[in-house]
Amino acid sequence: QSALTQPPSASGSPGQSVTISCTGTSSDVGTYNFVSWYQQHPGKAPKLMIYDVSKRPSGVPDRFSGSKSGNTASLTVSGLQADDEADYFCSSYAGSINVFGTGTKVTVL
């Protein structure tokens, strides 16, 4: 039950795009299409942004998109806005349990 690996930080200027990777193993990301992504602002609860690898819940802008290839999932935020500055965590089903990523702090320059 090791945490999924994410880069500690990512950044981009307003209007640009940033992509965050989430690397797991054949026991989680590589086997299941149950990858989700969460945004967390300081002092706040996490917010679901993507589920089932690439689906967006109602109310989440289409600037947020997800994908997966092999053992690595990715979240892309296009058209960066100031409010996108936050921590982002991936999560994957791993057979009866979930496992989260190490987290990525996104900075809007």
Stretch 43-62 residues interacting with another protein (CB under 8 A): 45-48, 51-52, 57
Q: Does 71 participate in binding another protein (rule CB under 8 A)?
A: no
| Binder of another protein out of 66, 101, 106, 108 (CB under 8 A) | 101
Give the span between the Cα atoms of 88 and 15, in whole angstroms.
18
Helix (H, G, I), strand (E, B) or coil at 69: strand
Q: Does 93 participate in binding another protein (rule CB under 8 A)?
A: yes
Stretch 8-47 residues interacting with another protein (CB under 8 A): 32, 34, 36, 38, 40, 45-47
Q: Which residues pair with 104 in a beta bridge?
A: 88
Could you tell me the two tokens for 46? 């996490």
Question: Which residue's CB is nearer to another protein, number 46 or number 79?
Answer: 46
Question: Which residues of the chain form contacts with another protein (CB under 8 A)?
Answer: 1, 3, 32, 34, 36, 38, 40, 45-48, 51-52, 57, 89, 91, 93, 96-103
